[in-house]
Amino acid sequence: MDTPLKVDGSIFKFIAALFKRHQVRGILVGGYALIANNVQRMTFDIDCMVTAADLEKMEPDILGAGYSIFSRQDAFVQFRSNTPGLRDIDFLIGDRHTIDTIISGGKQVTIAGESFVVPGPLHLIAMKLHSIAGNKMREIKDLPDIVQLLKANAIDLTDGRIRELFDKYKLTEIYKRVSTVSGGWHGK
């Protein structure tokens, strides 16, 4: 039986150890992925994306390290720390193909001496559009992030790939609003 993992120091070292122990190809998403893509963001929890099978393998170690399940849905599981000062961890659930696609288009970042993959700006935009399409209330939080990702990464709003993403999630009206608000900004 493996020695239980403990959060000793950085939460990022703990997550990296989880991924390594269970041979998980996970992605760091959320606020830290935005920061890695030139968008300033305050963030308190850690967001990762893994498959359901990978999360199932890691869950005993997460619970054993002093976490409890705060919320479990089909698309995500939120773990809350039972230890003051220990940061919460949320896991988005993705299929293997989606995760592999994001990893192949992602970039490596180093946090607390540990290496993680974060999505590139186009994948982050797609994730945020997917979120809005599934819950219109997410627009308030996610739309400003999309605009900032476009601007901070000099992505031309008229780039056909961007329009296709909005169309894919049936958010053409939001694309038109972003185009209007941006004043015809073309990423230059």
Residue 177: count of CB within 10 angstroms of its CB: 13
**Residue 128 scores a pLDDT above 90:** yes
Contact 5/65 with Cβ under 8 angstroms? yes
Residue appearing with tokens 């992602």? 106
**Residue 184: per-residue pLDDT:** 53
Whether domain 11-119 has CATH 3.30.460.40? yes
pTM (predicted TM-score): 0.88
**Residue 183: per-residue pLDDT:** 57
18-67 pLDDT tens trace: 999 999 999 999 999 999 999 988 888 999 999 999 999 999 999 999 99
Residue 149: count of CB within 10 angstroms of its CB: 21
Q: Band of the pLDDT at 1, cuts 50, 70, 90?
A: low
**Residue 92: per-residue pLDDT:** 96
DSSP 137: G
Share of the chain above pLDDT 70, in %: 94
Q: Band of the pLDDT at 186, cuts 50, 70, 90?
A: low
- In the chain, what are the domain boundaries? 11-119, 122-181
Please state the φ and ψ torsions of residue 91, each to the nearest 5 degrees.
Answer: -120, 120
- Once rounded to an integer, what is the mean pLDDT over residues 85-99? 94
Comparing 3 with 158, the larger pLDDT belongs to 158
| Ramachandran quadrant class, 9 (left: phi over 0; alpha: psi -120 to 50; beta: rest) | left
**Residue 42: per-residue pLDDT:** 83
Give the residues across from 89 on adjacent strands: 46, 79
